[in-house]
Amino acid sequence: MNYNGIVLKLGTTIMILFLSVLLPLGFFTDRIFLSVYSSQVHQKVNDLSRELVDILDEPNERQSDYYQKLSKVSGKELVIFDGHGKIVTNSNMEFKKGDNISSELLHILKHGQHFERNYVDNDTKEQFFIVGRPLMKGETFQGGIIVFSSIEEIHNIMHSLRNWIVMSIIGAVLLALGFTLFVSRKLSSPLIKMEQATRQIAKGQLDTEVQIKTRDEVGSLAQAINDLSVELNHYRKNRSELLANISHELRTPISYLRGYAQLIKLHRYRDKQELESYSAVIESESIRLAKLIEDLFELSKMEEGRINLYLQPVDVGEIIEQSIQKVTLKAKEKNLGLEYKIDQELPLIYSDGTRIQQVLFNLLENAVSYTEEGKVTVKALWTADFISISVTDTGNGIPNEDLPFIFDRFHRVEKSRSREMGGSGLGLAIVSEIVKLLKGSISVKSENGKGTEFLLKLPVK
């Protein structure tokens, strides 16, 4: 066991809480029992004194034997005295037969009152609770009686009770200790497992899984760690794929740049026209390389949430028309038709117009680039809480196996042709990230050989 670990800390906390309840409870139990039992004893002595007053006549020394029997039967020491305060009973205490009781006590009783008090015998040093009552005949004071009840009896009973309470507390503490150890281990075990799992994940063992299936906060934390492991594993694979893709994408333009630069450096060209063609290749590959780096940088910022949106009221219909104008010349060069149908009642939306145009231009440029004959159609409709914009072409379409990955980085359907067109393989990945930032959605439907439709939905509110 780690003595600085959570098992000890949790166990200590539980025991402190338990003892903070148990010890005061034991103390108050002792006080309550003492109070209740003392009250009962006091009540019994009072009741006994009343009964004795009712059966006693005027005190006299001739009845001392009778008084002794009453003392034995009642189990209490009795001191009986006459109207002058002279004691008429024998006693084992300082109150002796023939002596007078104190004038203070006699004064109280002569006035028809009774008294209750604690008393310590000067001879035996024993403690008593005493009750004194007057013996009256009509209005005449004939004497009095004092009943003595030893407090040692209460102390003995309370001593036994305290022993029982202490033993109960010790037993409860032992049970609580066992229970605490069990509970603390039970509660800390999943935490220790999760700690071990996170350390393994930190060491790169991303296939680590925490085997905890409880439906509480601990289970939720375990699931969060498992989800983190999956995400980190996915991130590592994506990073490896990204680095592989980047190195692959950079290799081609760099090879072109180096190769044609060496040809020019070594003057391996026949004439000025061939030199210009080499220079054109270098310029084209430089532009492509710059575009790749720019797209990578922008995609990275989007994925990290470092892109600021400039939100304002936007006319989506106007943005669609501007985007179509940008690809009109290219469509005419390929003899492609460009059709668009825009709902005239499209509302203004609060969004980033520049980013919407970037998305639409990318979709339109791809549609024109990969369509050899036929047309490209754009439709915009207002449906409920969204403006739906579809971009449909009559190109070759996208194979079904490529559809799930169409928005992944560097994924190309026609790889060689895409590179010829200068594509970076990041366009649709950027489109997907922009749409997420705009809180919209984008989907694709395609049929191989018949064309492709991209459906963009932008929230109105």
Domain 217-303 bears CATH identifier 1.10.287.130 = yes
In sequence order, which residues have a C-beta less than 8 Å from that of residue 122 and are 6 or more positions away?
A: 94
The predicted model gives 7-15 an average pLDDT of 75
Burial state string for 12-50 with b = 16 or more CB within 10 A and e = fewer than 16: eebbeebeeebeeebeeeeeebbeeeeeebeebbbebbe
Cβ atoms of 106 and 38 closer than 8 Å: no
Domain 1-193 bears CATH identifier 1.10.287.980 = no
What average pLDDT is seen over the chain? 82
- Better pLDDT: 163 or 4: 163
Pairing, β 386-393 against β 349-351:
unpaired
pLDDT(391) > 50: yes
User: Which H or E element spans position 293?
Assistant: helix 272-303
The predicted model gives 262-291 an average pLDDT of 84
In sequence order, which residues have a C-beta less than 8 Å from that of residue 352 and are 6 or more positions away?
A: 309, 310, 311, 312, 314, 437, 438
Pairing, β 375-383 against β 115-120:
unpaired
Q: Which amino acid is at 196?
A: Q
Residues 17, 21, 25: CA angle, nearest 5 degrees: 165
- Better pLDDT: 356 or 93: 356
Collapsed DSSP state (helix, strand, coil) of residue 178: helix
Report which listed range, 114-123, 132-141, 336-345, is most confident. 336-345
pLDDT(422) > 60: no
pLDDT(396) > 60: yes
Residue showing tokens 């004439």? 271
pLDDT(33) > 90: no
pLDDT for res 61: 63
Q: Which of these, 67, 96, 73, 93, lies nearest to 148 by C-alpha position?
A: 93
pLDDT for res 92: 64
| Location of each CATH 3.30.565.10 domain in the chain | 312-459
Global pTM reads 0.50
Collapsed DSSP state (helix, strand, coil) of residue 79: strand
pLDDT(182) > 60: yes
Bridge partners, 100 (sequence order) = 86
CATH of 312-459, one of 3.30.565.10, 3.40.50.2000, 1.10.287.3510, 3.40.50.2300: 3.30.565.10
